Amino acid sequence: MPLQVAFIYINSALAKFSAPTWVEGTALWYWIQHPGFNARPGELRVGLDVLGNPYIAAAVAWGTIALELAIGAAIILAGRRRNLRIGAIVVGATFHLIIAASIGRVAFFFAMIGGLVLALWRPWDAVPWLCIRPRRA
């Protein structure tokens, strides 16, 4: 399961290299204007103002690619490292929350959070280590 979720993130990042708008950094400027997404008029205006700056647009587009690669790598490398697993869940949840808030893909948010939790959460992560460690008399 973790490799499948990691593949989703890595494949998403690598697929963006075949789209010229992602490579040049203008993809999100186009995406926010697409009528199929639910950007409200106020969000659309702010988004277009922010992404109208080519440096910010490129930084956000390339940052998206880098973040997807980082989450995919964290899923693969996490193993028994609790901090890396929890950090990947938090970063991924924040990333998908921003996507849900900016283009209105709430079901996608819940699907990806579910995938991250299934791939990274371990039953013992919810229990503080000091509570389950045997105490010496």
Q: 45-71: per-residue pLDDT in tens? A: 777 888 888 888 889 889 999 999 999
d(CA 104, CA 39): 7
Q: Helices in the chain by DSSP H: which ranges?
A: 2-15, 20-24, 27-33, 41-51, 54-78, 82-103, 106-120, 129-132
Q: What is the pTM of this model?
A: 0.77
Q: Is the dihedral of CA 55, 56, 62, 67 positive or negative?
A: positive
Cβ–Cβ under 8 Å, residues 116 and 9: no
Closest CA to 6 of 63, 75, 94, 64: 75
pLDDT tens, 66-102? 999 999 999 888 877 878 888 888 899 999 998 888 7
